[in-house]
Structure 1
Amino acid sequence: MEKVMMILAAFVLTSTSRPPEHKYVYVDELKNWTEAQRFCRQTYTDLATLESQQDVEALSDMATSVRKTSELAWIGLYDDVNSWRWSTSDSDFYQHEEMDFNNWQAGKPNNVWLGLFRDSWKWVEGKNFSFRFWNEGNNEPGNNGKEECAAAHFGRSGQWEDWPCDQHKAFVCYSELCGNASLPGRKYFFVGELKTWTEAQSHCREHYGNLAVMENMEDVGTLNNMAASLGFTSTAWIGLYDDVNSWRWSVSEYDLDQHQENKFTNWQPSEPNNDAGRESCIEMFANGSWNDITCSKLQGSICSEVRDSDVKFTFINVDMNWTQAQSYCRNHYTDLARVRNMTDIQKIQTLIPAGQNVWIGFHRPFWMWVDGSRFSFSYWRSSEPSGSGEHCASADLGNSGQWENWDCDGQRPFICYNVVCGNSTLPTREYIIVDELKTWTEAQRYCRENHKDLATITNMEDVRMLNDLATGRTSQAWIGLHEDVNSWRWSMSDQYQNQFRNWAAGQPNNKFGRESCGALSADGSWYDVSCSQTLHTVCFNVCGTNPTFYYSSTKRSWTEAQSFCREHYRDLAGVRHLSDNKVIQGLVQRAAWMGLYRDSWKWADGGNSSFRNWNRDEPNHNGKEGCAAANFGNAGKWEDWSCGEKKAFVCYAAVQSKHLVKLQLEFPSSLTEDDSAMMEELLIKLKQKLKDDGVKGDVKVSWRKRPDGKILHKPKKKKDEL
């Protein structure tokens, strides 16, 4: 069972320039563009959008501080090749459907001069930023072979390149930060389940935000208080890790054309070995080979002066540590030496005195936070970090929360966190458990009559709140999640939705509760099928009101088919009427995917949260189980049940806030609070004023009586007024 406790720790953003509106998160998992966007929308806000050079710099700074398996990462820019529009945008100029008229020659569009143009590259979520940062030196965007999705190349200052959308790359998500009215803060969550560091991070990313990040002693104190309240004195994983393969040059901005030379190394045999876990800077021996060593060692260094493609090396015969050597070289030359090839090695060898070692510009960040935060604050236990194979950090909560480094494959509890804004830490709903046994429909009716609705649960914090409320219970209780087996819709946007259906007899039947995608057979009839099954594919393009259908005999899952169609055409086929169905029937040779799918489980109050907390092997849909219940005997995990069964249930109500406002009013002395009509009229005006000032929700105002039973009183005059 997972034991979770939430604590809020506030932190402050300080900036002298425009405050960032969002936080970038690098995700080192290989996905195609569509899969990456889906992940970002489920876990953060969306794929990264960039509207200025400041955003590019923020993204590049973040990328330099995290572990990366690739220099390329998807961002939220894509090419909508069908986004043709007229130069004249006045809708009154066009009659019905005239804006959609076109007269393309077969095989076109190609290039023509008239008032029609294509507003091609677009940002996710419809954002209309015009800022672009293409790698123009590499003729980007080149659109070679349908390259319709953009990636940032962090080996080239974050410049953008277009790539085929089905390629698998790392990607960058973003999360919205708070507006100026509130400061972001952290909520920490302690999870008692034993996991490796990597497993712990995956769990935190799925259910919260990430493994815990700490910036100061206040954060440490918050975690210590949390541990004390739980009686926990062992160690727990935090989001700090040592990436032993993150070697980089002090100068990465010049000579970017020779990108492969960035990978050149000349290690001494058995190096780098990160002895005692403390070696993150590089020295060169007189024979030209390299060794990793602690950065505090004092010795000479090699600086470089760069002029275009010309590089000159200089030996500095002053004992300095690596950081001092870097500062010296940057003040007097370009930087510490960057070694591109064996020719550079040979030049430097002629400068090194016999028997000496020298600093060069190769180094790696010592320890890094999982979210890319700059590692400046540390709280290591004495003699830590130690051990060459121990690359992940834990907090020893039995020793004031001091940090230790351990083998990442060890299993420990862990601490997660997510970012919240201002008052968002306050609960937005209040849960009420009702012990009367009712069917799901009866329970919903009761909740709507007496509270708000059956419970909606949007995150693990809601789960924790509900589990706390249900302490001591072991039975199930209805929540507001139910299966709408008729919620079929088309893959293409809402503007293409229609009610035409051509189901085969007995379809859709949602066999085993796992058939949520639509397929069309060779005879034109439709079936619901498991989305993981592999079938042929029917795509389409839409010009105005006229679709053109395309058939592919390659077998794919429904999601793969959707990605294929969106990359090469408009989308998976939508079928508006029997005529469309007959056209497709003439193309397919056997069962094929179309764009129909079922958005199945929904919340009673219409909420669109995608959060799910199903028990293992649930939902299993045994015997038409279309309603969800939380099992409080199993940490509140969800199970699907027949809606006609009678159970306890959980309602929710909106949390109300009360505010006491003191007012100073001026009115004729003849008016008293006994004048109830006037007092009521004042309340009506105050209520309207609050609404005009932006106060939302069910606003109720009332007078508050003082201890003497009076509402109004005259303020006492100050001495200087007597």
Structure 2
Amino acid sequence: MRRMTATFYLLLISELCSLKTAFSEFHFISEKKTYEEAKDYCQTIHTDLATINNMTEMNDLTAFVPNSTIRSWIGLELGNVSRWHWAWSTQNLDFLNWRVGEPKDLGEDSCAAIDPQGEWFESECDTERSFVCQGNSDVPNDYIFVADTKSWRDAQKHCRDLALDLVSVGSAEENKEVRNLSTDQNVWIGLFRDAWKWSDGSQSSFRYWKPQQPNYGNQHCVAAVFKDDGKWNNLNCGSQHSFICQGPSKVSSNTSTTATTPSNNTTNTGDVSASTTQGETFNTTQFSNVTPTGSDFPLTSGNLTLIRENMTWIESLNYCRERHMDLVYVAGQSTQDRVAHMAQHATSSHIWLGLRYTCNFDLWFWSASSTDCYQNWSPGQGPGEHSNECGITGAMVATGGHKWVGLPETQRLNFICQEDCSRI
């Protein structure tokens, strides 16, 4: 799947020269917490733990988190009631065609198949059957019959590897079309039953389990395992992991707080919207209400602001976004010249740009989206170079030719925020 997704993104890059990211609503928090602590944090500071609606969002999230991340909580938890869902998260459950006596409530998880008469029945998901993939749930007759027999989840993986998913059936007419494809076999359709629910109450049916997951017992909360392409694993809710929040910050940068100047030995949560210790109430981040003085005073030019504080790339990104800005996006030579002029006033040897490298897809992208193609890399740096490693992000040399280089995302540098990249 990674190879195919990377190919898609590279084709997109070749046409647009930048990747339009979709994870501005996601916030990675590196501080390890239990599931309930993480949920309380997200509901207090943002909206909730992350809800994932489709494969595009999952790929975006996988590219967004630091490359060293092993696993992080998302907002999926075990509920008390099992419900039927379509694999296509946009498909409503407004048409059913169960065989008499079905469904039979077989267990924690079960899946649905269609028989040669077009009637549905409940089945254990590990049974191997042929199946029908669908390219787009909103496009009629967009079906592909696969004669190979697989378990329900392996069948879904096969469909997803083709950028499809198992078929959803929304009407008697569609049901007849799927039945006609299946000839005289019982085949899988994209209907499944589980008791998992999203913390924010949304009805997304998207699931992205690792093989042999979920398993039950005392493992009622879900984490994305980024060393396994972000696939999901259910875990004991009391275990401690980093986590992903969603939604804008509820904490205003104008909130009156006691703030401290960040230093290299400051404990960082990975998201600069808030900080907390166990048992304390949430307060705004140490960066939210800093009144810079002396050499730390921000230098502003139009919609660009130089922040002469040394922060990691993630801290810098979140600092800017807390103020309804983003890390600077260099759209062309005029912007390069303005940023280079400001960089000369930095107190670090380089300044962070809104550039990030993802080793999952082997490409560079901007945290702000655009269709411009401008680049100013130093020799041996940038796209297609062997120097690219997991965990590097884009920076500009503060002096000389102001070329771009890739540096470890954990390095602490000055940075430039922009108000709105479309006006640069």
With normalisation by structure 2, the TM-score equals 0.36
In terms of Rg, which structure is larger?
A: 1
With normalisation by structure 1, the TM-score equals 0.24
Which structure is richer in relative contact order (CA contacts within 8 A, separation 6 or more)? Answer: 2
